[in-house]
Amino acid sequence: MPFDTIKNILSVYAEAGLSTIEITMNTEGAAEMIEFIASNFSGKLNIGAGTVCTQAELDSALNAGAQFIVTPVVNQKIIEGCVKAGIPIFPGAFTPTEIYNAWDMGAYMVKVFPATQMGPSYIKEVKAPLNKIKLVPTGGITLDNIEAFKNAGADGYGLGSSLFDKKLIEQENWSGLKIHLQKFAEKFA
């Protein structure tokens, strides 16, 4: 995707009332994008790095200015490194044991992925005995099901393809994208 397109998306994203964005480290030029966002959207967007699996990726993300880290799995070294550095960490977990272990290692919140495999009832059932743990369902969260996850006890949401409407972006329909993003922002209010 051309960098000018990314700049437009970021501006529209912030204008729509959304404040937190994650760039996955398996995206080409991820560190440069994080650095750009940290430099140009300071105070408007919280920028995080996702899909952080190695110490090298963690170092690259933090050096670029990432304010939080998201992992796809429970990686004790990455979690402990973030906790030691005072960086919020959202490790990916699925089973109650993985979720608890991630929290016990110092996770700020735990990313439950893939959330739609089990649905909102899974979040509710996990939260029953583990009610102190903050859960962020990720994977398949949409405008149609976000309310059900919220009612089940979700503490945040990880959104991707449903948030960034490819058709609107391809058409460079920035006003349409803003309206689309505002619908999500309203759900978070």
* Catalytic residue ranges: 22, 111
Give the DSSP H/E element, type plus range, for residue 136: strand 135-137
Non-local (6+) Cβ contacts of 117 within 8 A are 139
DSSP H helices in the chain: 3-15, 30-40, 55-64, 76-85, 96-104, 115-118, 120-127, 146-151, 166-170, 174-188
Three-state DSSP class for residue 49:
strand
N- to C-terminal Cα distance for the chain?
A: 30
Contact 21, 14 (CB under 8 A): no
